[in-house]
């Protein structure tokens, strides 16, 4: 979670509210923040750390492991209308790539700003070519985009 | 209710710790903004 906290300024620039959620109580969240995370991120965790005691939120979002009694590593990107645009669920041993989350948010924001007139091909980064969906593009993606463009 | 991209995120209100204070978070208070929700297995775990 310190990796997400470390990138919080970027999330703020993008106008993103960040929330972390685990089944731990808010009291344990405080102790973890004060005793460990604040040593990795200056000032500690800057966003609300939600307590999901009993795993009810995890159950609703499909990320509660009832055998282990914990919420697994689920990450959801939600747009300003409250619609889920992206989700990723990992088993506990492998951490997230926060840079990829940021890349996806930038891509979803661009699609939203252009009202879907521009869409982003695989591995898109800001400034790279976007695609304009429509009859003219059918069968012609190869003319405007190549997987090697991602390098 | 099932979770699916392109569909509404279920709203919730839950207790939270935030910058030295105990409070609560209501997801729908963030309507109009982008949101990242990060579930994780537990405090003091290693990853």
A148 pLDDT band, cuts 50/70/90, is: confident
Do A99 and A47 fall within a single domain? yes
Supply the ipTM of this predicted assembly: 0.96
Do A93 and A135 fall within a single domain? no
Query: What are the pLDDT digits (tens) for A96-133?
Result: 999 999 999 999 999 999 999 999 999 999 999 999 99
Nearest-Cα distance to chain A for B29, in Å, is 10
Do A56 and A128 fall within a single domain? no
**How many other C-beta atoms lie within 10 A of the C-beta of residue A35?**
11
Q: Do A76 and B45 count as a contact with CB atoms less than 8 A apart?
A: no
Residue A84, domain extent: 2-113
B7 → closest Cβ in A24, A51, A83: A83
Do A26 and A62 fall within a single domain? yes
Do A68 and A142 fall within a single domain? no
Residue A46: burial class (beta carbons within 10 Å; 0-12, 13-18, 19+): middle
**Cβ neighbours of residue B25 closer than 8 Å, sequence gap 6 or more:** A19, A48, A50, B13, B14, B16
Do A40 and A97 fall within a single domain? yes
Segments of chain B with pLDDT less than 50: none
Question: pTM for this one?
Answer: 0.94
Do A70 and A139 fall within a single domain? no
| Residue of chain B whose Cα is closest to the Cα of A84 | B5
Give the domain CATH number at A51. Answer: 3.40.30.10
Residue A29's SS3 state is helix
């Amino acid at each position: 979670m310190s990796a997400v906290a470390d990138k919080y300024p970027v999330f703020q620039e993008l106008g993103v509210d960040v929330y972390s959620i685990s089944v731990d109580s808010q009291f344990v969240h405080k102790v973890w923040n004060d005793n460990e995370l604040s040593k990795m991120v200056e000032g500690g965790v800057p966003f609300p750390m939600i307590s999901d005691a009993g795993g009810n939120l995890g159950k609703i979002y499909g990320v509660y492991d009832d055998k282990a009694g914990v919420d697994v590593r689920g990450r959801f990107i939600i747009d300003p209308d409250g619609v889920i645009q992206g989700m990723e669920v990992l088993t506990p041993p492998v951490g997230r790539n926060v840079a990829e989350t940021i890349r996806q948010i930038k891509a979803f924001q661009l699609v939203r700003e252009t009202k879907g007139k521009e869409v982003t091909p695989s591995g898109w980064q800001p400034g790279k070519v976007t695609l304009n969906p429509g009859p003219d593009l059918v069968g012609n993606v190869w003319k405007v985009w190549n997987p090697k463009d991602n390098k | 209710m099932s979770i699916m991209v392109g569909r509404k995120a279920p709203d919730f209100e839950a207790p939270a710790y935030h910058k030295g204070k105990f409070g609560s978070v209501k997801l729908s208070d963030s309507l109009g903004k982008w949101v990242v929700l990060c579930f994780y297995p537990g405090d003091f775990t290693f990853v």
